[in-house]
Amino acid sequence: MRAGLSTETSERVLLAAYEAMANVVVHAYGEETGVLDLRASSRGDLITVTVTDYGRWQAHARPGPLHGRGLPLIHTLADKAAFTTGPSGTEVAMS
């Protein structure tokens, strides 16, 4: 396994990152297109993944039965998750 991660940890990191990126698609840009930045780093046993967009958070961009689960899932998958939202975009940092 690259970076010395177990299969379970790798899957948790991938799913948490996917959820953060999916939130960009659903919430950051509305009907417009936009970009996101994905960064990952490791230091010792700590893996940090950061997803950043440059849109404006739209809480109810697309109603539906599958929406509203991303942030709780990220909190469950990551040992630590921080969300910073402002006029220049949103950053999700997960460790």
Over residues 54-85, the pLDDT tens digits come to 998 776 655 566 667 788 899 999 999 999 98
94 pLDDT more than 80: yes
* Domain annotation for the chain: domains and CATH numbers: 2-94 (3.30.565.10)
pLDDT per residue over 21-56, tens digit each? 998 988 898 788 899 999 999 888 889 999 999 998
Instruction: Specify the pTM.
Output: 0.85
Nearest to 57 by CA among 87, 78, 31: 87
Cα distance between residue 89 and residue 95, in whole Å? 20
pLDDT band at 5 (very low <50, low <70, confident <90, very high): confident
